[in-house]
Every structure is written in C-alpha cells, then in structure tokens.
Amino acid sequence: MKTRALRLVPGGLLVLAATALVHAAPLGDAASALVPAYPYAVFGAGLLLGLRFSRSRVILALLVLALADRALHSWSAGGDATAGSGRAVFAAVALLLPVDLAAIGWMRERGVLGAPGRWGLVVILLQMFAVASIRRPELAAVGGALELALVNAGLTEWTAIPQVALLAFAVALVAATLRFLLGGGAIESGLLWTLGAAFLALTARRIGVPSSLYLATGGLILVVSLIEASHAMAYVDELTGLPARRALGEALDAVSGRYAVGMIDIDHFKKFNDQYGHDAGDQMLRMVASRLAQVTGGGRAFRYGGEEFAVVFPGKSVDEVRPHLEALRRAIQVSAFMLRSPDRPRRKPKPAADGRLAGKRVFVTISVGVAEGERRRSRPQEVLRAADEALYRAKEAGRNRLST
C-alpha cells in the first residue's frame, strides 16, 4: 500500500506545479511565452516514447489530450466557454475527455498494433470528426443535449463545465481510482492525475494559456509514468514486487566499504510446486517476499531468481547481520501459509465450528547463507558466490538454518 501511495507523488507534484504557474502573477508572462511550445514538446516526446516502448494506452491518451487542446484552440480559442459557437465544442470536449481517459485506463495493453490500440485510434478519430461537426446549425439540438441540467444550475456556477460533463468526470474519477486500487501501476496513477489536470483545464471560463498548460501537463504526467513503468519492468520483479536481480547488481556496485550479503532459498520449493501447483508456488513466493521486505538491520531484499532471494546489508559484518537474518528465518518458520484455491474468496475465511480455519494451512522454512565483503578487497560476484556456498552448506546440514 505504501508503494502504491508513492506512485501518486510525481503526478500530484506536476499538477501542483502547473496550478502554481497558472495562478502565480509573476510567472504569467513566462507561462504565456512557454505555453505555445510546451504542448508540442510534451506530446511529441510522449508519442515517440510510447512508440518506442509499445505502449498503446499512453499513445491514445496523449492523442486525446492533444486533439482536445487543438479543438479548443481552433474552435473556441480566446472565446468565452459559456457562450457562442465554441460553447458546443467546449461541451463536447468536456464530455468526451473524461470518458476516453477512464476507458483507456481499463484497456488491456496489447501493443501499438494490437486490436485495442487500432480500435481506440478509430474511435478517437471519429470523435474528432464529431466535435468538428457539432458547430453546424443543423446539429444545434446535439449541443443543447450536452447542456442538459441535472441539478439546480446554481450548484455548478463555479465552473464552465456543463452538468452532463461534470457527471462524466465524476464517473471517470471513480473508474480511474478503482483501476488504480485494483493493482494499478505507474500508468494507472498517471491516468488518474491526467484526469485531474484535464478537469482543471476545463474549469476556467476562457480557453487559452491555462487550458493548454494543464492539458500539456497531463501529457507530461503520462510521459513520466511511462518512464516509471519502464524502469519498474527492468528493476522490479513483477511477481513479488521486490527489486530484481538487475537492481541487486547495481546496488552492489554502488556500495562502499564493508557490507554483508545473505542468500536465501525456500526449502523444498520445487516439491511444494509439484504438489500444489504453480499458482500456490507463486503465492508462497509472494508471502516470503513480503516477510523479506520487512527485514531489520538496514537490509534490503532482492529477488535473485526462482525461489532464491538476496539481502544486502551496507556497512555491516556477518556477525552484525546474523541476529536480523535469524529473526527473519524464525518469523517465516512460524508463519502459517493458507493455500488459496481458484474458488477461494480474497477475504480471509471465517473459522470453522471447531475454531480452525477452513482450507489447508502449510508452513514454509528458509535456508540462509551469509558472506561479507569489502569494496576494495573483493568483487561483488565473489561475495555473492561465497554467500551461495554458505547457503549450500546450510541446506546440506538439514535446511531451515543459517550458515556462514
């Protein structure tokens, strides 16, 4: 939960910076000078990165923002968002923008050339054609429908956004929040904040610098989210959420002075995997990883590969880290592991009549090998090898123990 909350920080800071830029009088002239180039730079860079990393959702969201910005500037620029021929365009953009962003958030990533990406592009282009056509006199009834009053008009006087579009924003906010909470990553967090930036862009009663600044900032949030997601793919293990082997290598390269490394292996994991299946094996890996992430003594846990993990203790010796690794081993040993069958609910099952939990409880143990190194005297690969040899001795001695 803490990691997920941290994913919200970059987007929030960017929205806050854009808001400060819009409302800070001393920065008004500077903002006006930068805004014309800002959207082109953001959307151009974002589209290139999206193509490079084959992220269709980011590309579609950037297209939605860019086309919304161009539509507002082409047909409502400098105009009052509450009246005139540009009002229908404004109302249409205000309705479609949140709907599109929420829908993109729930799309499955299938690459730029995948079916979802192709159909998404078709829908966006059709929407652009519809927005361009809505100013025609014969479509005045459509513009009127977009202005339908759902509640007393006095309740929404604070914004130029029509009530129908406000409802769309509210529904989109709920949908985007749920998507983020249900296992969303950096992209989902970015789309959530992009939705907020789009709302701020349309809240003003005149189209111009503020709307472009907010919409471009929404694009910048997506670019940052894309970079975060790409970093996570390279450095974070998807199954356990721990830093991956590549991150371990860089952490060892960056350490200075003395350090200790603990290599950890789940005892009899292959037998467990064969008996209960790969899904149960994945559950066990996640459970052990969650305990390792809480290791004390300044250690940092990594997924090394398979059922093996590593813990790095900068500035510590073997004797100093032994109590912390022993405490970790004992904590895992006494932790009951409840097997989750495919039809088992996510919530904890109620106790049976005799007080026991329904389902099969199993226990897991780990073996630990520890070695220490000194930056000037030993290479990280040598320390890892020594820790791995110590781990082998622990397993040969009967498992569920620590060896040096």
Per residue in 316-331, pLDDT tens?
Answer: 999 999 999 999 999 9
Chain centroid, CA 238 distance in Å: 12
- Which residues are known to be catalytic? 307
Asked if 309 and 242 count as a contact pair (C-beta separation under 8 A), the reply is yes
Q: Report how far apart, in Å, the C-alpha atoms of 91 and of each of 79, 135, 160 are.
A: 13, 11, 9
End-to-end CA distance of the chain: 35
What type of residue is 347?
R
Residues 6 or more apart in contact with residue 32 via CB below 8 angstroms: 209
Is the pLDDT higher at 370 or at 374? Answer: 370
Rounded CA-CA distance 51/294 in Å is: 38
* Tens-digit pLDDT profile for residues 135-180: 777 776 777 788 888 888 778 888 889 999 999 999 999 999 999 9
Asked if 56 and 114 count as a contact pair (C-beta separation under 8 A), the reply is yes
Radius of gyration of the chain (CA): 27
- Of the chain, the percentage scoring pLDDT greater than 70 comes to 88
- The total of other beta-carbon atoms located within 10 Å of residue 59's CB is 24
Say if residue 311's pLDDT is above 90: yes
Question: Is the pTM above the cut of 0.85?
Answer: no
Sign of CA dihedral 177, 196, 215, 99: positive
What pLDDT is attached to residue 312? 95
Rounded CA-CA distance 42/71 in Å is: 17
What pLDDT is attached to residue 54? 87
Q: Which two tokens stand for residue 292?
A: 């390792």
What pLDDT is attached to residue 141? 74
- The total of other beta-carbon atoms located within 10 Å of residue 323's CB is 11
What pLDDT is attached to residue 259? 93
User: What integer is the mean pLDDT of 109-118?
Assistant: 78
Could you tell me the pLDDT band of residue 122, with boundaries at 50, 70 and 90? very high
Burial 25-47, CB ≥16 within 10 A → b, else e: eeeeeebeeebeebbeebbeebb
Q: Tell me which residue of 287, 277, 278, 276 sits closest to 364, measured CA to CA.
A: 287
Asked if 318 and 258 count as a contact pair (C-beta separation under 8 A), the reply is no
* Tens-digit pLDDT profile for residues 188-201: 999 999 999 999 99
Q: Helices 9-23 and 209-235: crossing angle, nearest 10°?
A: 160
CATH architecture of 245-403: 2-Layer Sandwich (3.30)
DSSP secondary structure string, 278-318? HHHHHHHHHHHHHHHTT--TT-EEEEEETTEEEEEEET--H
Say if residue 9's pLDDT is above 50: yes
Is the pLDDT higher at 173 or at 3? Answer: 173
* Tens-digit pLDDT profile for residues 60-79: 999 999 999 998 888 765 55
Residues 6 or more apart in contact with residue 304 via CB below 8 angstroms: 245, 248, 263, 310
Asked if 207 and 78 count as a contact pair (C-beta separation under 8 A), the reply is yes
Burial 161-200, CB ≥16 within 10 A → b, else e: bbbbbbbbbeebbebbbebbeeebbbbbbbbbbbbbbbbb
What stretch(es) of the chain map to CATH 3.30.70.270? 245-403
* Tens-digit pLDDT profile for residues 379-397: 889 999 999 999 999 999 9
Lowest mean pLDDT among 26-40, 162-176, 237-251, 300-314: 26-40
- Of the chain, the percentage scoring pLDDT greater than 90 comes to 49
* Tens-digit pLDDT profile for residues 24-54: 755 555 556 667 888 999 999 999 999 988 8
Rounded CA-CA distance 245/302 in Å is: 7
Q: Helices 37-52 and 209-235: crossing angle, nearest 10°?
A: 20
* Tens-digit pLDDT profile for residues 259-293: 999 999 999 999 888 888 888 889 889 999 999 99
What pLDDT is attached to residue 59? 95
Could you tell me the pLDDT band of residue 116, with boundaries at 50, 70 and 90? confident
